[in-house]
Each structure stands twice: as structure tokens, then as C-alpha cells.
A and B are shown apart, each in its own frame.
Chain A
Amino acid sequence: MGLKRYLVTRGLTMFGVLMITLLLTISLVGSNMDTILKQGVIYQVRSEITENTTIAQGFNNPEEFEKFVQQKIDERVKTLGLDTPWYSPQRLGYTMYKILILDFGNATFLTSDSGSSNVGDIIFEKMPKTILLFTTATIIISIIGIVLGAASSNKIGSKTDRITSTFAVISSSFPVWWIGMLMIFVFAFMYQIFPARATPSIEPDDPGYILALLYHMALPVITIVLIGFGAWAYLVRNFMVGIMQEDFISAKKTIGISKKKIVYSHALRNAAPPIVTILALSLSGSLGGAIITEAVFDWPGMGRLYFEAISVMDLPVIIGSTYILTVLFLVSIFIADLLYGYFDPRVRTSS
């Protein structure tokens, strides 16, 4: 199988997954969406009629008036296409088409910082913050992880190696958000070094905003790094140990190249493909975890937006964020696949 064909099949699978995710999301929230939309219509029609007093005066008894209102509501429901259920092919197709072209409609309750209630605006305002936080944390984690992992694979069974392995196992058993709570407790209240809420209090157009943002970002980043780097170091170490047993390394050893040089330049280079792949995967994996982490630190990103949308059942926002999260997730899986195929030609040739 050539690279082109490989890419096409992967791409098609991804698109299929995206469509299925979308369909699943819509079908899970669809019936709720219908009731909410219908209630919105009823409210709208009623307020329009009651505001216009002349209409009400034209009726003698309340029953007739009620009939008139109901008729108006039915008309409006029909023009909006709400008389057919959400799973009817036209409506489903229309909803999915709208989402595909990134038109998520308007949020029911939530607004962006600038006051817009367009779901697209809200999401694209929050997304950079999530990407900023998690990319920073992932980069720091991978640097520490690779250095520590290489160091411990250099001397298996040494103190560094044992401490790293133990720390990896222990740190990955703690939930990130719980460590977050502890960090807030210790570093924001006991010793007031960092702010407890990660949302900067100054306006975004203030020149000091970026500095304030970085300062507020410190506690979440430290927490994510603290929990994450151990597992990374352990992973890198295990890859390296596997590579160090390969024949070409033994050959290099017999030539007389120093072990340090073998570890840091030859072995590490060969461990790169799986490491890069996992880097891409963990970045996307952390996006899902962002929901809880951002809720703890009150970080104004996608995760907190998602959480807020869920708590007030703002369906357009939920659908939009799930879509965007899935797209991000799939794109990073795709990139991971590509990188793996690039680094390791065997993937392309055999299925």
C-alpha cells in the first residue's frame, strides 16, 4: 500500500468517525433540543401577541384568543420545520450540514466575553486559551520526560532510574484535578503565592494582560507537569531500553563509541518515532481531561466552557464544543499516524 492510499483510507476513516460522533451527539441531545426550541417559539409568539394590545382587544372571550395564539404557534413551528421530529432525514441532514460548515447557531444562555452569543465566536474565543495551557504543559512535560527517561535508561537500576519509575507509578494514580485542589489550597490560600482563580481579572486589551495570563497560568501548568512527567519519563525509558538491546547498538558499543553518546544521539534518535506519536496522542488526550482541570482552576478555556454548557444545558454550545473537540482529537490522531508512517516505513507497506 502506497503512502497516498494509506493517507486516503485513514482520512476517510477519520471523516466517518467525525460523522458518527456528530450523529451520536445530536441523537443524544436531539429530543431535549426539540422541546427547548418549541418552548422558545411558544414564548416568542406569546410575547409578540401580548405586546400588541390591539390584537387582544379584537377578541371577546379568552377561549377564542387562546385558539388564535395556538394557531399562530403552530404556524411558526411549521415554518421552522419543528413539526417533524429531530430524527427526520431533512432536519438531521440540515443540522449536520450546518455543523459541518461550522455554523453552530446561537447559544441559549452563554455568551462570549465580548458579548456575542454566536457559538462559533464563543468557541474560538476560548480555544486559544486551552491550546496555550495544554501545549505549554505538554512541551514542558515532554522535555523533562525525555531528559529524565534517557538518563534513567543510561543507567538501569540506578537511583535516578528507580526514583523515576516509582514516581511514574505513584503520580499517575492521583487524579490531576485533586492535585489541583491541593495546589490551590497550599499555594493560593496557605501561602498566597499564586492566584486561586486562573482567570485574569484585567481586561484583555490591557498591555499587562499577557503577563497576568502567564502568572495565572503558573499553577495549572505546574500541576499538569507534576502529574504528567513521571509517566513520560517511564515511557521514554522503556523505549530506550528496548532499543539499547538492538544489534546496531551492540555494534556501536564494540566499535568503542562511548555509552553516553550512544544513548543521547543514536538510541534517542531511533526512539523518536514512537515518542513523537505519543506526544501527539497525549496532547489530544489531554484536551478531554481539560474539562475537569479547567473546572478546578477556573481557566477560561474550552473545558470550562463545556462544563458550563452542560450545567445549564446550553445545547448548541454542547454540540459545537463536542464537534470541535472531536475534530481536534482526530486531527492529532491523524498527525500521529502521519508521523508514524513517515518515521517507520513498515507501517505503509504492510497492513
Chain B
Amino acid sequence: MGLTGIFILSGLILVSIITISVIPSSTFQEWNNPEKWISYPKTSVPSWVNFLSSEKIPEHKIIDAEIFQSQENGIFFTSQQFGVIFEYDDFPSDFIFEMKTKYSDSHLIQIKVIRPDGITLELLSTSLPHSNSETIHNQRYFSTDSMMMKNLNLYKDDFQFDFLSDTTEIIFSELNENKIQKGDYIFIIDAYGVKEPLDVIESKMVLGGKAYGLMGTDELRRDLAIGLLWGTPLALFIGISVSIGSVVVGLVYGVYSGYKGKKTDEVMMRFNDVIYALPALPFLIILAVTISNSIFLMIGFLMIFSWVGIAKVSRSMSLQIKTRQYVEAAKIMGQKDSKIIFRHILPQLLPYAFASIAISVPAAITTEAGLSFLGLGDPSFPTWGQILHDANTYGAAAQGFWWWIVPPGILIAITGLAFVFIGNALDTIVNPKLKR
């Protein structure tokens, strides 16, 4: 059991390290910025679903351009090509070309597609807006452009079915019937200029599908894999710091109270009773609403309610230890109370402390997740509870977005389990010692 726990925990720590070092932190800061996620698909299933079912759902693809440039007869020619291997059983929902270019004067633009059957379809002829000085221009071409539909209508005779208003259902279709044509497509954007070549700074094609990434996306087009990955270090941070903080406080408080005894003990234990009798969740909610929902303060609030039990146990343990002869000897020798507590009593409780740190982590993680689920979490951090809160507000259960609900909960449970396993294993090592 203990080994399983350590195994899971090291896996989680590895994931956290990889996340922090590999994934750019901009993804985490801009988790709530819809602008960043605009080229992602809405609520799409994880792409590995395609391995499990016979019907292949079109994947959402973001394709970078290959750029070719040449000069002939004083005309500067720039070609951006996007290769698509399309092997799915449904039409893509749409496609968008996004390009950022630098030029002066103007450029003529021609967009076409070469299909697997060799037919070339001219999609759009247009030009970049004229400018006298050198400018940087952002341009988007949409498959829903009415000009594109008009151009496609010229090929009407080649296709043996009635055209619908959706361009992708023509471009990706067989000639004889309206069925997917699988194979390699090449989308080409040709640019012709007379003064100077077109400088392509950024260019990509977004092929809209219904499957994306390892974990799919949510209603706000966010890549859930990134949210779940960032949630791992956050959960570990919250859980471990709350449990270490509360165990340290509880241990010192309880040991001091037990060691001092008499009036001090009585007063300290009454205070302990008061905190114990406070209903934790309502108070956490009030604190989050009235003071702040910053994640660091939240850790502090969680600590307030979780040191009490540990203080009680460590008090009774220190009551036992203080009657031992070596402690009494130290007392008679005139050592200071603080020295006796820190040198002679606390070290005896260390094994218990480690066990209770491990055991109290899951409660901290689930409580934080619960608060986030109620919408009281720190909005600037994508925790698992936060993801589940969003899932609940957008009615993920009602619409069957299982990939939005299942993974965060399983991650919460797995993380909790790892610590419970480790804690239980430590407990069985610790307990026989205590019985002696």
C-alpha cells in the first residue's frame, strides 16, 4: 500500500515538475482570457476517442504553413501551403486561415485547394489592403465567406449532388455523392506582388473539428489538458502546505499545553474546544466571501480549522512523555521549558507528525476543491475544483461532456489516495511504538 502511494505521488510530482518547466506559464496566466483560446474548438472530445470507436471524429487541427518564395519577370511570388491528411468519417466544421504579414503597396491573394483526386478548386481571389508605407497586417480568411461559396458554385457541374450552403461539405466531398473523400489535401495561399516579396511573419490554418488534444476542450474553448496539468502542482502545493502548517501548529500547541498542565492546559484546551466546535465549511465560505479568495489566504483559512485534532492527540502524547524519567531529570537539572519541549518531547512525536501530515493532505485538497466548486476559489489559478465549477455552470452533465467532469475528479481522488496510502503505511510503522 505504502509503495503504491509513493509511486503515485512521485508520478504526480513528476507531472508537476514537467508542467512547471515545459508548459509556458502564459497558458496558466491566460487561463481565463478567452482571446487566447479563440483558435481552439468548443467542447470537443479528447482525440484518443478515435482509437476506441470505429467512426472517426474529425480532429481539430492547427496547421503551420510551409512557405515558398520566388521572383519572375519582376513579380514577387509567395506561396503558403498547408498539408492536411484527412482520414475521418465526418466533414470538418469549418476552416480559417490566419496570417500576419509585413508588406508595402499591395498583394494579390489566391486561395486554392488540391484534393486527393487531383482536382484543384479555386476558393478565393482577393487582395491585401493597399498601403504606401511598410505595415504589419493581420488577415483572416474564413471558410464561411460568401465569396468562397460563389466561387465553388462555378464547379457545380462537376459534382453530381445539390450544393448545400456549407463550403467544407463541398471541398471535402466525393464528386458523385456528398460523402467524405479521404486522403491528402493541400491548401495553398498564393500571393503576387510587384514591388517587394510578402513577408509572412505568422501563418496557420485552423481546421475545425470535434476532437482535440489529450483531454478535449471546454465550453470556453480551453484546452483541458493544460488546466488539468496546472492543477497538479497547485493541488499538491495547497494540500502539503495546509497539512504541514496545521500539523506544526497543532503539535507545538498540544505539546506545550500538555507539558505545562494545570491552568495553562485548561485554558488552551478550552480554546481548542471552541475552534473544534466551529462549523468549518460555513466559516470558510464566509471568510472567502468577506476577506479574500486569494489562494494563499485560503491556505491560511484551511489551517485554522485543521490543527485542532492534532493538538488534542499530541497533548495526550506529551502528557505521557513528560512523566518519563529523562524528561523529569532534565527538568530537575533546570533546563528551560522550551528546550525540553523542542529537544526531548517533540522529536518523540515526529513519526506521528509525518503520518498525520500525509493523512491530512486529502482533506485539504478536497475542501479547497469544494470551495472552488462553489465558485469561491481563486479565479486566477486553474485548480481541479475550478474546472469542475465551470463544468457545473455550463451544464456539462446535462450535455454529456464526460471528459470535462471525469478527469478532474479522478485526479483529486488519486492524489488523495496516494497520501492516504502513505499515511496508513506510516501509521502502521508508528503505532506499535506508541503502544509501548
Are A169 and B424 in contact, CB atoms less than 8 angstroms apart? yes
Q: Does more than half of chain A's interface fall in helix, strand or loop, or is it mixed?
A: helix
Contact B290 A32 (CB under 8 A): yes
Most buried by A among B290, B291, B416, B424: B290
Choose, from A39-47, A107-115, A122-130, A176-184, the stretch at the interface.
A176-184
Contact yes or no, A181 B391, CB < 8 A: yes
A325 touches B277 (CB 8 A): no
The answer to whether the Cβ of A134 comes within 8 Å of any Cβ in the partner chain is no
Given contacts A173-B417, A181-B392, A185-B397, contact A306 B366 (CB under 8 A): no
Tell me if A326 and B279 are in contact (CB < 8 A): yes
Residues A17 and B274 in contact in the complex (CB < 8 Å), given A175-B409, A288-B279, A311-B375: yes
Q: Are B290 and A29 in contact (CB under 8 A)?
A: yes
Verify if A198 is at the interface (C-beta below 8 Å from B): no
Residues of B with C-beta under 8 A to A84: none
Of all chain B residues, which has the CB nearest A289? Answer: B281
Which residues 372-394 in B have Cβ within 8 Å of A in the complex?
373-376, 388, 391-392
Taking CB atoms, residues of chain A closer than 8 Å to B197 are: none
Q: In this complex, what residue of A is CB-closest to B405?
A: A181
- Selected contact of A185 from candidates B283, B402, B417, CB within 8 Å: B402
Residues of A contacting B408 in the complex (Cβ-Cβ under 8 angstroms): 178
Cβ A13 vs Cβ B270 within 8 A: yes
Distance of A13 from chain B, by nearest CB (Å): 6
Residues in B whose Cβ lies below 8 Å from that of A313: 289
Nearest chain A CB to B399's CB is how many angstroms away?
A: 8
Interface string of B391-429 (1 = CB under 8 A from A): 110001110101001101100111011001100100000
- Whether B362 sits at the interface, judged by CB under 8 Å, is yes
Contact with B along A284-296 (1 / 0, CB 8 A): 0001110110011
Report the minimal beta-carbon distance from A172 to chain B, rounded to whole angstroms. 8
> Could you give, for residues 94-127 of chain B, a 1 whenever the CB lies within 8 Å of some chain A CB and a 0 otherwise?
0000000000000000000000000000000000
Interface of B is mostly: helix
B303 at the interface (CB under 8 A from A): no
Complex Cα–Cα for A306 and B402 (A): 29
Q: Which residues of A contact B397 (CB under 8 A)?
A: 181, 184-185, 188-189, 196
Instruction: Give the interface size bracket for B toward A.
Output: 35 or more
The answer, yes or no, to whether A318 is at the interface (CB within 8 Å) is yes
Which of A18-26, A251-259, A338-346 has 4 or more CB atoms under 8 Å from chain B?
A18-26
Does A174 reach chain B (CB closer than 8 Å)?
A: yes
Q: How far is the CA of A16 from the CA of B281 in the complex (A)?
A: 20
- For A307, list chain B residues within 8 Å (CB): 374
A181 touches B417 (CB 8 A): no
Quick one: which of B55-98 are within 8 Å of A by CB? none
Q: How far is the CA of A185 from the CA of B285 in the complex (A)?
A: 27
Q: Give A274 Cβ to nearest chain B Cβ, in Å.
A: 16
A321 at the interface (CB under 8 A from B): yes
By a CB distance below 8 angstroms, the chain A residues around B376 are: 310
Whether A177 pairs with B370 at a CB distance below 8 angstroms is yes
**Taking the complex as formed, is A244 at the interface, i.e. its CB lies under 8 A from any CB of chain B?**
no
Flag if A306 contacts B277 (CB, 8 Å). Answer: no
Cα A14 to Cα B291 in complex, Å, equals 27
Interface residues of B in 267-316 (CB under 8 A from A): 270, 273-274, 277-283, 285-287, 289-291
Residues of A within 8 A of B (CB): 13-14, 16-17, 20-21, 24-25, 28-29, 32, 169-170, 172-175, 177-179, 181-182, 184-185, 188-190, 196, 287-289, 291-292, 295-296, 306-307, 310-311, 313, 318, 321-322, 325-326, 329-330, 333
Instruction: Give B residues with C-beta under 8 Å from A.
Output: 270, 273-274, 277-283, 285-287, 289-291, 362, 366, 369-370, 373-376, 388, 391-392, 396-398, 400, 402, 405-406, 408-409, 412-414, 416-417, 420-421, 424
Q: List 21 A-B contacts (CB under 8 A).
A: A17-B273, A21-B277, A28-B286, A28-B291, A29-B286, A170-B413, A173-B420, A175-B409, A181-B392, A181-B409, A182-B406, A182-B409, A185-B396, A190-B400, A291-B282, A310-B286, A310-B376, A318-B286, A326-B277, A326-B282, A329-B277
Q: Top 9 A-B pairs ranked by shortest CB distance? A: A173-B416, A178-B409, A185-B397, A288-B281, A17-B277, A173-B413, A174-B413, A173-B417, A175-B366
13 additional A-B pairs beyond A21-B278, A329-B277, beta carbons within 8 Å, are A20-B274, A24-B283, A173-B414, A175-B370, A177-B373, A178-B412, A189-B400, A292-B281, A292-B373, A295-B374, A296-B392, A310-B285, A310-B376
